[in-house]
Amino acid sequence: MMKRVLITGIGGQDGAYLSQLLLEKGYEVFGLDMDINAQTCWRLHYLDIYDKVNLIRADMADSKALLDAVKKSSPDEIYNLAAHSSPGSSFRLPVECGEITGLGFIRLLEAAREASPQAKIFQASTRDLFGAGDGSAYNEDRPYKPSNPYAAAKLYAHWMARIYRNSYGMFICNGIMFNHESPLRGIEFVTRKISDAVARISLGKESRLALGNIDAKIDWGYAPEYMQAAWQMLQQDAPDDYVIATGQVHSVKEFTRRAFQVAGLTWSDYIESDAGLLRPSDVVIQKGDFAKARARLSWKPQVEFNRLVEIMVEEDLRRWKRHLSGERFPWDVNEK
């Protein structure tokens, strides 16, 4: 019988790739998002799956809507990807972030406990739980030190996943995902901001790129592979928590240099630093140790750093060229 899945945050980068993956595996896909019109779900159009998924408009603040969605989809698997996913903005809208990122998950858990207690649940946890890294590789056993309201809300959800697993025997996994990027990354994230800027500079639409802390070293992976890992977690015999990462770190500076190089440009000609882009308590160096995922899930990342940057820059170049030649299609960048 066809498996059924419910994905929250289906309009986001991860939601789109996960939908694509599960459609390929023959799942019937139900997805939630706050807004499900064609523009906000541009990623589903990009992957050409907008018409293949069942979209449900629901807010993670609305317990009743979540319960209805669980009843309607009657899922075998639930992936909670909905979040206010930008740590920087979580200092500006902390209550809203806590409501969606933290409490949204408990509302979903309660809905699942009531209507689909057998459903296997994936919670998108994050490396932000660990706070500023010390350069060493972080595995599942490291203590948590969230340094912004987003991370604190994610940590709340992370613990609730474990508490429900232990208290009620529910099948719930935390995927402690390190940064994962792609051409579907939101434009507010630094990698995409760079790849988009490089494309525009390369096509003469822009001349400068302002960046905050370019020395931050980050463990960057390729998003579709991370969704593969999420799916694998739910196919195991028992639920557990897993770090998903590449184990390699690169600085924002390296990302920038490589991105300009892909477009045949020299990065230092275009950069200015902007102190306003620094977050109040910023995460500095952090590397993931995915040994457990490798051992238990046989998962390992395939797309390495240079290739990741290339994929992103090439896609943004392609989009801008299409756009400038007059073609119109849904995406998240508007010409200024």
Nearest in space to 26 (alpha carbons), one of 52, 55, 8:
52
| 66 vs 218, beta carbon nearer another protein | 66
Segments in 81-121 forming alpha helices (H): 87-90, 94-97, 104-115
Angle at 294 between CA 287 and CA 49, to 5 degrees: 90
| 144 vs 189, beta carbon nearer another protein | 144
Listed ranges 99-107, 171-179, 239-247, 315-323: which one lies at the site for another protein (CB under 8 A):
99-107
Contact between 136 and another protein (CB under 8 A)? no
Q: CB of residue 195 vs another protein: minimum separation in angstroms?
A: 29
Q: At what angle do helices 252-262 and 190-202 cross, to 10 degrees?
A: 30
Contact between 148 and another protein (CB under 8 A)? yes
Q: CB of residue 273 vs another protein: minimum separation in angstroms?
A: 21
Contact between 20 and another protein (CB under 8 A)? no
Contact between 89 and another protein (CB under 8 A)? no
Nearest in space to 191 (alpha carbons), one of 288, 131, 258:
258
| 31 vs 149, beta carbon nearer another protein | 149
| 152 vs 218, beta carbon nearer another protein | 152
Separation CA 282–CA 145 (nearest Å): 12
C-alpha to C-alpha distances, 45 to 37, 74, 287, 290, nearest whole angstrom: 11, 25, 33, 32
Contact between 60 and another protein (CB under 8 A)? no
Contact between 151 and another protein (CB under 8 A)? yes
Which residue in the set 1, 95, 238, 295 belongs to the binding site for another protein (CB under 8 A)?
A: 95
| 52 vs 71, beta carbon nearer another protein | 71
Residue 249 structure tokens? 């770190």
| 132 vs 210, beta carbon nearer another protein | 132
Contact between 106 and another protein (CB under 8 A)? yes
Which residue in the set 160, 199, 229, 249 belongs to the binding site for another protein (CB under 8 A)?
A: 160
Contact between 168 and another protein (CB under 8 A)? yes
Nearest in space to 315 (alpha carbons), one of 150, 127, 185, 120:
185
Separation CA 95–CA 101 (nearest Å): 10
Which residue in the set 65, 156, 248, 333 belongs to the binding site for another protein (CB under 8 A)?
A: 156
Task: Collect all residues with Cβ–Cβ distance below 8 Å to 334 and sequence separation of at least 6.
Answer: none
First-to-last C-alpha distance (Å) of the chain: 49
Residue 28 structure tokens? 């019937």
The dihedrals phi and psi of 250, each to the nearest 5 degrees, come to -140, 150
Residues at the contact surface with another protein, assessed by CB under 8 A: 63, 91, 94-95, 98-99, 102-103, 106-107, 109-110, 143-144, 146-149, 151-153, 155-156, 159-160, 163, 166-168, 280-281
